[in-house]
Structure 1
């Protein structure tokens, strides 16, 4: 009988001896999209070396465009591509719908949801180009990781605005993606800070039989392959402190962990009509009224930061518990 061999992950020191460049193992690479309506959008390609690969589009608010797990794309892709919408948002405007797509679209911070009171659909922040401050691979920490940091500003003279500082981390060799966002009001007057994280999942994560749970309680599913109409958004209160929404389908699991101190709600939305196929998981800071608008929200003093934290964990759908408390 042949002895069973067990594989162990090489140490950082051992890896340096085995490869010419550690980017062979895990990397962040910067490039510019150059085709069609996506042309000119600054992008970072993350590859953790653990099966998780994704693009951060600094030119579109440092959102996540593609996201694949073990070589399979799980993020919903729209026919519009990763374009920038016209910068002409105004009263009743639905410009968001012209560029909506990819794994994450960050919504806010002056408004989310349906157009109201002169605010466009999902606010002024979506797809705003960000300034990239830093990015790279950090092997010299207790947890080696890939990272990037950047900042975007939405502002108009006389109307104030908001500043977002975003840090994205992904442990090297891992299956985890982390966001830490800090948002503050800029300008002379207090103003609300609203946030909705529009995570968009597609086939094969969404397919017949996909199930969604919140904090261990079933919410939706098993889902059908198609539906004849767009589903109305539904809203659920998150558990105090920290909440977990888990989606399982097509042999994969994706779990969203977030701090419910500042994101106390989960909104679900889907369009499973043929040739659409998008399933959206949306942690958010504010409740939704029956007419689809926001409930009231307090104003925040200028310069007082509000912090939003989200962790995304990928796994194969297996019967035993997966590391990282995904279940």
Structure 2
């Protein structure tokens, strides 16, 4: 018992909020305060993804011009996913598809799949062993088709400026299913600007297209917001330990991510230096965003047998030098 405080939430805790007005009206949010400067907002109506991340009051992530968009406004044709792309710190892409719209074995697949626009079926949180823990489940199931579910666990150690998220994906149907996942993590101003130092511990860097290839020597260098900027994507190959970081020298604050590169074997750097569309994506996944048909042809497409599960985990740490 701390005799100086009336309620533990003076120091740390989780609060649930609801949005009022606009396209986000009614959306449920969990705001996590770890007691030492890390604050995250989890959007329960968007697959329990992270809409905002702050460290010591500083914004770390990118919030797109779309703002908060409830799942009811999701449009699944082609690239219409972008109309509801809040971005935030974490947007999960998948499970039936990641990347470019395509047709794979007769199935029309939209940009980045639908899981990010699906509300959690249930969620709850509790404190255990010095950690704030959030659990949620999202179903990606349909009659006559795929039956996949995603169970997510966030672990926020109290007093430490780090957290992990772990996903268990299960095939709840009776046939083998392809599945893809990409953790679309989006860095934003003021963490991101032309002076930010970006490190990605990769052994090989491949440009996604000719446009990216033209400036591959500057993949690690950020730029000022540029009118008419065309996005550049770079694919990074790592062996076992996946690691990437971004550091803002003017604020002496940075963010790093770590994961198992054998399991999440596709890392994408999304460099978008536009005006207001100013974001750096540091994205680990089990595929690249070229469309499920391309992943099938290259042999990178993953599958789950009936009843089979797959688990992925990513650790995020905020730091000062």
TM-score of the pair, normalised by structure 1: 0.84
| Corresponding position of 2:272 | 271
Report the Cα offset of residue 147 of structure 1. 1.5
| Corresponding position of 1:307 | 311
Report the Cα offset of residue 216 of structure 1. 7.8
Secondary structure at the counterpart of residue 23 of structure 1 = helix
Deviates more, 1:246-255 or 1:56-65: 246-255
| Corresponding position of 2:234 | 234
Map residues 1-327 of structure 1 onto 2, 5 A cutoff.
16-85=2-71, 86-90=73-77, 92-117=78-103, 118-138=108-128, 141=129, 144-215=130-201, 220-227=219-226, 228-240=228-240, 242-249=241-248, 250-251=250-251, 252-287=253-288, 293-294=294-295, 295-296=298-299, 297-316=301-320, 318=321
| Corresponding position of 1:6 | none
Q: Deviations over 1:126-145 (max 9, x none)?
A: 2210023321333xx2xx11
On the 8 A contact 2:134/2:153 being kept in 1, the answer is: yes
On the 8 A contact 1:27/1:136 being kept in 2, the answer is: no
On the 8 A contact 1:230/1:270 being kept in 2, the answer is: no
Aligned equivalents of 1:207, 1:72: Cα separation in 2:
14
Report the Cα offset of residue 35 of structure 1. 2.2
Q: Deviations over 1:17-50 (max 9, x none)?
A: 3322222111101121112111111110000111
Aligned equivalents of 1:88, 1:272: Cα separation in 2:
26
Where is the strand percentage greater, Structure 1 or Structure 2? Answer: 2
Report the Cα offset of residue 63 of structure 1. 0.3
On the 8 A contact 1:201/1:280 being kept in 2, the answer is: yes
Cα 1:180–1:260 change in 2 (3 A) is same
Cα 1:84–1:292 change in 2 (3 A) is farther
Cα 1:303–1:196 change in 2 (3 A) is same
Report the Cα offset of residue 125 of structure 1. 1.1
Secondary structure at the counterpart of residue 20 of structure 1 = coil
Cα 1:162–1:248 change in 2 (3 A) is same
| Corresponding position of 2:215 | none
On the 8 A contact 1:171/1:177 being kept in 2, the answer is: yes
Report the Cα offset of residue 124 of structure 1. 2.3
Cα 1:162–1:130 change in 2 (3 A) is same
User: How many positions carry a matched residue from both structures?
Assistant: 297
Report the Cα offset of residue 186 of structure 1. 2.3
Structural RMSD (CA):
2.2
Which of structures 1 and 2 has the bigger CA Rg? 1
Unaligned runs of 5+ in 2: 206-217
Secondary structure at the counterpart of residue 87 of structure 2 = coil
